[in-house]
Amino acid sequence: MNTIDTFSQSREHTQSRFLAAAYGWMALALVISGVTAFITANAFGYSLSTVTSRAELVRLFGMYRALLIGFIIAEIALVWWLSSAIRRISATAATIGFIVYAAINGITCSSIFFVYQLSSIGYIFLACAAMFGVMSLYGLKTSADLRKAGKYLMMGVVGIIIVSIVNMILTFVNGGVGPLDWLISIATVVIFTGLTAYDSQKLLALSEQADGSETYKKVAIFGALDLYLDFINMFLALLRLFGKRK
């Protein structure tokens, strides 16, 4: 075997390890979120079973809502910190931050167990996993350049955020489910399905430069975060569209 062949095999091995790390961390984060959400829902459900008065019930729900809002703020702060400190923190710190984020997100998503049937959550999770797998494989295998599409998809994410805020205000003022809920959910599924392919292709491009260094270990963590967010947003939107409520 000549030197060129040896180098090529070494390059492919490093590239494969980088991609495996990114997808592995993403899968671990989903497990952490799922377990945390289930434990949180069960703990709150147990607390509900001990309630003996309406006043205590109102107080308990108020605490749960405040807890969720607090953790949502913590999620935003953690992502901002990870993004701004990427050049300064170690790979270990980035990993810990990512795991903590996954756990916090599990807590904020625990409310789905009170709204939707457990079997419905399971079926939609599997459907989302299939969609994610297909689009990720497309992003890794296609010869088309998805960078231009990625820019428009990110603009779509900003649009979803703005419209969602407007819808929340309208829902609060008018009461009941906001009229834009279905459209927002459909747009979310479409946009994050596209982003799954885009982020997968972006990871593939990064893997070609990976060298096993501390820097690329952090890059793998941030790639996992992108994939994790794609999956979670797709899953929650699909659940709002097709989930069977209790």
pTM (two decimals):
0.87
**Continuous segment of H or E residues that includes residue 212:** none
Helix H or strand E encompassing 192: helix 181-207
User: In the structure, what pLDDT confidence band is assigned to residue 48 with cuts at 50, 70 and 90?
Assistant: low
Helix (H, G, I), strand (E, B) or coil at 16: helix
- Kindly tell me if the per-residue pLDDT of 2 is higher than 50: yes
Q: What is the pLDDT of residues 198-234, one digit of tens each?
A: 999 999 988 888 776 778 788 899 999 999 999 999 9
For residue 116, list its beta bridge partners. 245
For the chain, give every domain's residue range: 3-242
Which distant-in-sequence residues (6+ apart) come within 8 Å of 142 by Cβ?
Answer: 197, 201
Q: Is pLDDT above 90 for 173?
A: no
